[in-house]
Chain A
Amino acid sequence: MDIGASLSGLLGGILIGLSAVWLMGSLGRISGVSGILSGLLLERPRGDSAWRLAFLLGLVSGPMVLILLGGELGNVADAPDEVIGAPAGGVGLMVIAGLLVGVGTGIGSGCTSGHGVCGLARLSPRSLVATLTFLGVAMATVFIMRHLLGG
């Protein structure tokens, strides 16, 4: 086990948690990325879009700050100075995966942040079931792709 990566993981997780607490304490909102961004891009609610756009800009600028600092704080496997890892497949695979992620988080009302972090922290039974479902299915998908199909 890579202790450094695990400690960075813990620090990253605490920062994500602080972000969720910050957004709840200041604006009273759940930090669900799929909900915040789909709302911004598809609904553009009046008086409720500026903070969503600002959240998106912040989300993008976080890793940029680390890149500007030289990348040592990044946590890409086997690449000490990288902050953002390479995609795991080509355009075709990503179109399929992107559609599934979009439709799934759209009808399932949340993703890893909304259900997996905020929902679990609120002890929501819906979020617990959603999180166990997407984690289990994702693990099964990787098993099929890597070990059964050997991709």
Chain B
Amino acid sequence: MKTLMGYLAGLLFGLGLAIGGMTDPTRVLNFLDIFGDWDPTLMFVLGGAVVTTFIGYRLVLRRSQPLFAQAFQLPTRRDLDARLIGGAALFGVGWGLSGYCPGPAFASFAGLTAPLIAMLLAMIGGWWLAKRFSGSH
């Protein structure tokens, strides 16, 4: 049952990314290009996702536990540190160079090309490096 729930969540996520236009790196880069021919599409994607999640989380987290697991696993840290900000900045450079963040990069698997394979393998390598040299993830 946990596996089925995970699949359905991934399916909805993949459908949302593709319908929203996030599986098109050009659209993503045109959104990030605020001094060029700006494409607002991603603002609607992010806005729709955040508002839906904000409302839905409030309904779901009223329950004492999830339907198919023992407990909700929510991050508890609230402090800001150099790792958070430095990591986000490095990610921003990579996102701005490629137009791929992790979700859309994997979701684009059906349109596999050599550059996409390079992106996915390098990303996994990056995760390995981060884990190897900084302990926890």
The chain A residues found within 8 Å of chain B, CB to CB, are: 1-2, 5-31, 33-35, 37-39, 41-43, 50-67, 73-77, 82-91, 93-109, 111-113, 115-122, 124-126, 129-131, 133-143, 145-147
| Range for the number of chain B residues in contact with chain A | 35 or more
Closest to A66 in B: B18
- Within the complex, which residue of A27, A85, A107 is in contact with B83, where a contact is CB–CB below 8 Å? A107
Contact at A124–B113, with CB atoms within 8 Å?
Answer: no
Contact at A86–B26, with CB atoms within 8 Å?
Answer: yes
Instruction: Report B-chain residues with C-beta under 8 Å of the C-beta of A30.
Output: 73-75
Contact at A87–B113, with CB atoms within 8 Å?
Answer: yes
Contact at B6–A63, with CB atoms within 8 Å?
Answer: no
Give the Cβ gap from B83 to chain A, nearest Cβ, in Å. Answer: 5
Contact at A98–B119, with CB atoms within 8 Å?
Answer: yes
Contact at A75–B21, with CB atoms within 8 Å?
Answer: yes
Closest to A144 in B: B96
Contact at A137–B102, with CB atoms within 8 Å?
Answer: no
Contact A63 to B18, CB < 8 A, known contacts A26-B67, A75-B41: yes
Instruction: Report A-chain residues with C-beta under 8 Å of the C-beta of B43.
Output: 9
Contact at A75–B24, with CB atoms within 8 Å?
Answer: yes
The chain B residues found within 8 Å of chain A, CB to CB, are: 2-27, 29-30, 32-36, 39-54, 56-57, 59-61, 63, 65-75, 77-80, 83-103, 105-111, 113-116, 118-131, 134, 137
- Within the complex, which residue of B25, B40, B115 is in contact with A91, where a contact is CB–CB below 8 Å? B115
Contact A146 to B33, CB < 8 A, known contacts A24-B66, A64-B110, A99-B94: yes
User: When chains A and B are docked, how far (Å) is the Cα of A146 from the Cα of B80?
Assistant: 32
Closest to A147 in B: B35
Instruction: Report B-chain residues with C-beta under 8 Å of the C-beta of A6.
Output: 40-41, 44
Closest to A96 in B: B97
Contact at B16–A98, with CB atoms within 8 Å?
Answer: no
Closest to A90 in B: B115
Q: Which of A9, A100, A118, A135 has the most CB of B within 10 A?
A: A9
Give the Cβ gap from A22 to chain B, nearest Cβ, in Å. Answer: 5
Give the Cβ gap from A110 to chain B, nearest Cβ, in Å. Answer: 8
User: When chains A and B are docked, how far (Å) is the Cα of A98 from the Cα of B42?
Assistant: 21
Contact at B48–A11, with CB atoms within 8 Å?
Answer: yes
Contact at A41–B32, with CB atoms within 8 Å?
Answer: no
Closest to B127 in A: A38
Give the Cβ gap from B102 to chain A, nearest Cβ, in Å. Answer: 5
Closest to A35 in B: B137
